[in-house]
A and B are shown apart, each in its own frame.
Chain A
Amino acid sequence: MRVGLFIPCYVDQFFPSAGMATVELLENHGCDVAFPEAQTCCGQPMANAGCSGDAAAAARHFVDTFSGYDYVVSPSGSCVAMVKHQYPKIVGNAASSVVSKTYEICEFLLDVVKVTQLQASCSKLVAIQMACHGTRELRLATGSERPALPTFSKPRQLLEMVDGMQLVELQRPDECCGFGGLFSIDEVDVSCAMGDDKLSDFQQARAELVVSTDMSCLMHLGGLSSRQDRGLKFAHIAEVLNGDWA
Chain B
Amino acid sequence: MKHPEAAAGFVADSAKSSWHDQALWGVRTKRDAAVSAIPEWEELREQGARIKAWSLAHLDDLLVQFEAQCQQNGIVVHWAADGPEHNRIVHGILAKHRVKKLVKSKSMLTEECGLNEHLEAQGMEVIDTDLGERIVQLRHEPPSHIVLPAIHLQKEEIAETFHKTMGTPADMTDETELTRAARKDLRERFLQAEAGVTGVNFAVADKGIVVVCTNEGNADLGAGLPRLHIACMGIEKIIPKFDHLSVFTRLLARSATGQPITVYTSHFHKPKPGGEMHVVIVDNGRSALLGRKDFRRSLGCIRCGACMNTCPIYRRSGGHSYMATVPGPIGSTLAPSKDPKTHDSLPFASTLCGSCTDVCPVKIDLHQQLLAWRGELVKMGYGDRKKIRSMKLAGKVLSSPTLYKLAGIGARIALRGPRFVLPSEAKKWLTNRDLPPVPAESFRARYRRHQK
Contacts and interface: CB of A to CB of B under 8 A. Distances in A.
Task: Determine whether A and B are in direct contact in the complex, meaning some CB atoms lie less than 8 angstroms apart.
Answer: yes
Among B25, B312, B445, residue most surrounded by chain A Cβ atoms (within 10 Å): B312
Contacts, number: 224
Contact of A11 (B14, B352, B378, B443): B443
Interface stretch (B73-81, B136-144, B263-271, B343-351): B343-351
B371 interface: yes
A194 B312 CA distance: 7
A182 B374 CA distance: 12
A66 B51 CA distance: 41
B355 interface: yes
A7 B357 CA distance: 28
Main secondary structure of the interface of B (DSSP, over half): helix
Contacts of B217: none
Nearest to A218: B436
B420 interface: no
Contact of B351 (A15, A54, A172, A179): A179
B309 to A, nearest CB: 11
Given A189-B4, A190-B317, A49 B17 contact: no
A191 B3 CA distance: 13
Interface string A172-215: 10011011111111111111111101000000000000000000
B352 A132 contact: yes
Contact of A16 (B353, B392, B446): B446
A193 B438 contact: no
A53 interface: yes
Interface in B324-359: 347-355, 357-359
Interface string B356-374: 0111000000000001011
A170 interface: no
Interface string B413-433: 000000000000100110111
A60 B413 CA distance: 29
B401 A19 contact: no
Interface string A1-36: 000000101011111110110010000000000010
A46 to B, nearest CB: 5
Contact of B436 (A48, A50, A52, A219): A219
A54 B401 contact: no
B443 A19 contact: yes
B433 A146 contact: no
Contacts of A14: 435-436, 438-439
A176 B351 contact: yes
Interface string B390-415: 01101111111100100010011000
Contacts of A191: 351
B11 interface: yes
Contacts of B408: 9, 12-13
Given A132-B352, A179-B351, A187 B7 contact: yes
A188 B428 contact: yes
A189 B375 contact: no
A141 interface: no
Interface stretch (B36-44, B52-60, B103-111): B36-44
Contacts of A115: none
Interface in B263-316: 310, 312-313, 316
7 contacts: A13-B443, A143-B355, A145-B358, A187-B3, A188-B429, A188-B431, A193-B11
Interface of A: 7, 9, 11-17, 19-20, 23, 35, 37-41, 43, 45-55, 57-58, 60-61, 86, 132-133, 135-137, 143-149, 172, 175-176, 178-195, 197, 219-220, 222-224, 226-227
Interface of B: 3-4, 7-8, 11-12, 14, 17-18, 21, 25, 32, 35-36, 38-42, 310, 312-313, 316-317, 347-355, 357-359, 371, 373-378, 383-384, 387-388, 391-392, 394-401, 404, 408, 411-412, 425, 428-429, 431-436, 438-439, 441-447, 450
